[in-house]
Amino acid sequence: MSSNQNVVICSFYTADDYYRSHGERLAKNLDELGVKYVLREIEKQEGEDWADICRKKVGFLADVCAEHPDKKVFWIDVDCSLLELPEYISNSTADIIGFQRGYSSPSSIGYHRRTRFWEPSFWGVNTTPLARKMIAEAYELEKTSTLKATDDYFMEEAWRANCDNMTFQIIPSNAVIGKGSPNADSAAAFFNFGASGNVAHFRGKVQQHESKNGGLRESALKIAKKIERKLPYRISKRLRLLVDTIGITGLLTTRKLNPESQERKVDMNAVINSAQAGNSVQYEDARNKFQRNYLATQMELNNIAVAKSFHFYAAKESTKSIGLVWWVRPFPGNFGDWLSPLIVSQYTDNKIFFQSPVKIASKKHMIGLGSIGRFIKPNSVVVGTGISTDELTLAKSATYVSVRGPVTARVVKESGGPTVESFGDPGVLISRIFPVTRSTTNGKVALVRHFTHKPIPLVLDSNMEELDIFTSHPDDIKTLVHSLNLYDRVVTSAMHIFITCQSYGIPCALITFEGFADSVHGNGIKYGDYAEGVGLASISPIPVGLNLNIIDFDNITTNHKISETKMNEVEEAIKKGLSYLN
């Protein structure tokens, strides 16, 4: 038996004969094991049911953690018991330790069969900051939420919001008496599970999470991709054009992003949809409701941030509106993609509604900045749009005002479309939207990675500081471009950061990372297409190693500024494109 001096076990029970007797039995059990414990009898108030009592566990556990900051705190259901507390439990270094939901094995780990990750009958909270943060956040949510839910709902919310950064340890299922498939090498069973029967009675009456299953759509998508790979190239190319231009790509590729409950998904969709519709009252109500009832995961925080950006453009004070196509993901938004609504909005007072690239467009709309030419539709008005590969067939009957550069223009012509002679990525206008006078700089180098390069482990020079490319709201974009202008030089693997630097005249090195060049979509033609479109020599990213401390950036830095003449041409193209939508 371990000393268990660093552990506190806690539980509570209601003042009735059934649960009080279990409380007495558990106290005797823990005394025999020599484990410190906190057992508390609570009064069931008038109108409270089993779910309401369970919910009190959240605040109770938070209090015990606060009272014992230097001890690991384990919750145990009062009708359960321990044969021992093994060393691998009491001395665990994980933030959270417990049984997986249903006392299941690692072969079924995750959410594809279970609505929640942890089995609530026995689990431990370490003394680490992340573990205590999770418990505190669960309690804060429980105090504000109006949902009918039990303790494990709020614990699951806090777990999902923090688990990306936490360590955890799963106790094997054969540690439960009568569970798992123990053999001669197994650790001994130490946990005896007791069930009051209330769980089954309240199933469907309290808030639940939803299991995650791939479903029919995912299976169909896999089959479709397999069939496409077997088709001759010319047939496959035409089939992809058909799917992209009629707008059913989204139907084929959309899938669940989170194993959230249906109600939770509806509530989050209400935030996004009301923001995109520009309905300020519904947007504020939906956002407040979500934040009151749920502890947002990082993905949901990103959704809320991007909803604010959608709302900014869709809620403009105007009776008129236009549809604009741009690529909005990944949330909270990629700087380069979100330049499109920012720039277009400077030349119109109309509301700007998001038109998804991958969905059917029933009305005439503008498609602008970005390598999204494959999604041009017959009723698109094209202004400055580019492509990431020239192995495409583009919609020939769209209204082509301008494109990014001569490569895109060639593909338009080869697709049977018109001759396009006006070039220029609308991103070059950023310096006119947010004028900045570069004066004394800070003597440092800014690094901005393409979002697909963010996970790469880099070694930065001591003189280098990294700026984040994930931004969508105009205020945040303004902050970023002002920051870029403070540095002596910018190093980036993101094309629209490079374009921004050339708009302001900031010295910039366009790079990619050795071994990761394929992370950015396309075959690389977009860089030269852009450069030639604004009257500069063709350019490609320079591959560099992951140790930026040894790279001589002087030899790969350019110091160009887009001409006023080119900016005027791009402005006129935007104004002309907008005239087709009035």
Residues 394 and 490 in one domain: no
**How many domains, in total, are found in the chain?**
3
Residues 179 and 238 in one domain: no
Residues 494 and 347 in one domain: no
Terminal Cα distance for the chain, rounded: 80
Residues 228 and 358 in one domain: yes
Q: With 80 as the cut, is the pLDDT of residue 425 above it?
A: yes
528 found inside a domain: yes
Between 521 and 315, where is the model more confident? 315
What's the half-sphere exposure (Cβ side, CA atoms, 13 Å) at 102? 14
375 found inside a domain: yes
Residues 469 and 402 in one domain: no
Q: How far apart are CA 231 and CA 224, in angstroms?
A: 11
Q: What is the pLDDT of residue 67?
A: 96
211 found inside a domain: no
534 found inside a domain: yes
Q: What is the pLDDT of residue 199?
A: 43
Residues 452 and 476 in one domain: yes
CATH number (domain holding residue 78): 3.90.550.10
Residues 329 and 311 in one domain: yes
Residues 423 and 446 in one domain: no
Least confident of 155-164, 368-377, 428-437: 155-164
pLDDT band at 197 (very low <50, low <70, confident <90, very high): very low
Least confident of 53-62, 70-79, 183-192: 183-192
2 found inside a domain: no
438 found inside a domain: yes
208 found inside a domain: no
pLDDT band at 148 (very low <50, low <70, confident <90, very high): confident
Residues 444 and 479 in one domain: yes
Domain with 237 in it: 218-427+574-579
Q: With 50 as the cut, is the pLDDT of residue 230 above it?
A: yes
Q: With 60 as the cut, is the pLDDT of residue 112 above it?
A: no
- If you average pLDDT over every residue of the chain, what do you get? 87
How many Cβ atoms sit within 10 Å of the Cβ of residue 459? 11
Query: Which stretches of 19-159 are assigned E, i.e. beta strand?
Result: 36-42, 72-76, 81-82, 96-100, 118-125
Q: What is the pLDDT of residue 223?
A: 62
Residues 332 and 461 in one domain: no
Q: What is the pLDDT of residue 200?
A: 44
Residues 324 and 457 in one domain: no
Q: With 70 as the cut, is the pLDDT of residue 19 above it?
A: yes
User: Which domain-ending residue is among 133, 167, 202?
Assistant: 202
Q: How far apart are CA 74 and CA 94, in angstroms?
A: 13
How many Cβ atoms sit within 10 Å of the Cβ of residue 442? 12
> 525 vs 11, 98, 386, 389, CA distance in Å?
63, 51, 10, 6
Q: What is the pLDDT of residue 114?
A: 64
Q: What is the pLDDT of residue 224?
A: 61
Q: With 50 as the cut, is the pLDDT of residue 258 above it?
A: no
1 found inside a domain: no
Residue type, 171: I
